[in-house]
Amino acid sequence: MTAHRRALAWGVALLCALPVVGRAQSGTSAAARLRLTGAVWDSTLSAPLAGASVQAVRADDPSQLRTGTTDAKGNFRLDGLAPADYAVVVYHPRLDSLGIQQLSRGISVRSGESRLTLAVPSARTLVTQVCGEASAALGAGYLRGMLRDAEQPGVTRVGTVQAEWQSLTLDGVAVRRDLQRVQARTDSAGVFVLCGIPANDNMQVQAWSSTDSTGIAALLTTELGIVLRDLYTGRIRRDRLVLTDSSADTLVAEVLRGPAVVRGRVEGAGGRPLSNAQVTVWGTGVQATSSDSGVFVLPTMPTGTHMLDVRVLGYRATRQIVDIVAGENAPVTVAMNRTTSLDTVRVYASRADMLARQLSEFEQRRRVAGTGRFFGPSDLAKRPPMRIGDVLRMVPGVRVVPATYGERVQMRGLTFNSWCTPDVWLDGIRVQGDNNVESMVSVDDIRAIEVYASPQTVPAQFTSLTGCGVVLMWTGPRK
């Protein structure tokens, strides 16, 4: 049910609860027509709600209504009302994004000019209503939605939804990156609520129901920490893919497969088609290149909610959630933005000093540690990579394989006959958990990379905890 229909249904219920004005009043002369004025306020932003549609519906005759729109100050004015009881209902995309099914109030209009103020509840009020006071006090938000069946889009599923994100904590003089996780079951109607999610942060969401599941969906939470998103579980097939690297060594990777096809178009400014874009769905290992008209086709895709990853040289990498359902899927449009040179951004002195120090230490290790492989700002500027994996593949003893979040890095172990998972450091901070470099940082933000393919060659301050090699990545402008 759409937000408009839900609000209309609520308005009808409100009308039924109001005292009914006799039909005799419906013949009131035009001279007796009244006015309703008021304002709509968005407490979550501490600002007026401009551009909202406001409807006043008569209690004794719902077919009689007046409609207006709030101005830049959130004010509205409805003329020509007869003396009666009214339900006043507000519609606005902002309400949908907050999960507010209706913003409505009843009012009795009897003479002259009546005034009414409607307010969107504050973020804390919304979180308190959904998750409780304790969660609201922590400044946390929630993810709410419905779990659906990708094979039967009109059917809901009972299952589990999980969200993960990285948090930074100060541990003495070091900064530790910890993995946070929340999980919740749906109710019998497939509705789920995950409380405690962070505001203004990136998180990865996945859901499963019996043997069906989604892929990984990367969500950026709002400034309020309130996110509304339905998820689709699909029948995913996991195949073993045998690959051969540059050394003719074979490796096996698990990839996601299915019967669906994803079609779409990659566009730049003004809807201009972009060719030669690399397009993939996380975890599938299937990659397509857009044509001169910007069109791409990805076959053998699993159904469900998944993550589309698009790269074009000169443009910011774009990740977009796609719901792949049974039957014919509507083409996906991917809008790309030009890469912004970071050196045009004003940087505080402390940040500039840190960047200079990091690059100086990088160049010193390049001169001394001959066993590492180094890719500095000039190297990356000469051959701009679309993915971080494009750089790592150039290092002997390193391979990049398909993974749930994009690509994983592996290196030769101490015995040389086995492969191991290297530690990854980002700006001097060891990244805990999955070493998927594509999920950590955009390749456009990488300033320099150094790779030590053997634990014996790793600098002392970056000692490996896994007994494997190390990948160090440094962010900042390349100029």
C-alpha triplet 133, 139, 142: angle, nearest 5° = 80
Query: pLDDT value at position 105?
Result: 94
Q: Give the neighbor-by-neighbor strand order of the sheet with 103-109.
A: 65-69, 53-58, 84-91, 103-109
Query: pLDDT value at position 468?
Result: 87
E strand or H helix that includes residue 58: strand 53-58
Query: pLDDT value at position 419?
Result: 79
Give the pLDDT confidence of 179-216 residue by residue, as tens digits.
789 999 999 999 999 999 998 888 999 999 999 999 98
Query: pLDDT value at position 205?
Result: 95
Contact 272, 333 (CB under 8 A): no
Q: Give the neighbor-by-neighbor strand order of the sheet with 406-412.
A: 398-403, 406-412, 419-420
- The residue ranges of the chain whose pLDDT is under 70 are 1-32, 168-177, 243-251, 340-351, 369-370, 404-406, 413-417, 432-435
Contact 356, 346 (CB under 8 A): no
Query: pLDDT value at position 323?
Result: 96
**CATH 3.40.50.150: does it fit domain 238-335?**
no
| C-alpha of 178 from chain center | 20
| Long-range Cβ pairs for the range 296-300 (8 Å, 24+) | 296/263, 296/264, 296/265, 296/266, 297/261, 297/262, 297/263, 298/261, 298/262, 298/263, 299/261, 300/257, 300/258, 300/259, 300/260
| Domain limits, the chain | 3-121, 124-233, 238-335, 347-475
Query: pLDDT value at position 438?
Result: 73
Query: pLDDT value at position 349?
Result: 53
* DSSP state, residue 10: H
For residue 143, the cross-strand partners are 194, 227
For residue 284, the cross-strand partners are none
E strand or H helix that includes residue 375: strand 373-375
For residue 120, the cross-strand partners are 42
CATH architecture of 3-121: Sandwich (2.60)
Query: pLDDT value at position 16?
Result: 47
Query: pLDDT value at position 26?
Result: 43
Superfamily of domain 124-233: Carboxypeptidase-like, regulatory domain (2.60.40.1120)
- The domains spanning 124-233 and 347-475 adopt the same CATH topology: no
What the block records as the tokens of 397 is 């003893």
CA neighbor of 283 nearest in space, from 336, 319, 246: 319
Count CB atoms within 10 A of the CB of residue 337: 10
Superfamily of domain 347-475: TonB-dependent receptor, plug domain (2.170.130.10)
In whole angstroms, how far apart are CA 67 and each of 55, 64, 102, 299?
4, 10, 16, 48
What the block records as the tokens of 122 is 């504050």
What the block records as the tokens of 384 is 């701009």
Q: What is the Cα Rg of the chain in Å?
A: 28
- List all residues 6 or more positions away from 353 whose beta carbon is below 8 Å from its beta carbon: none
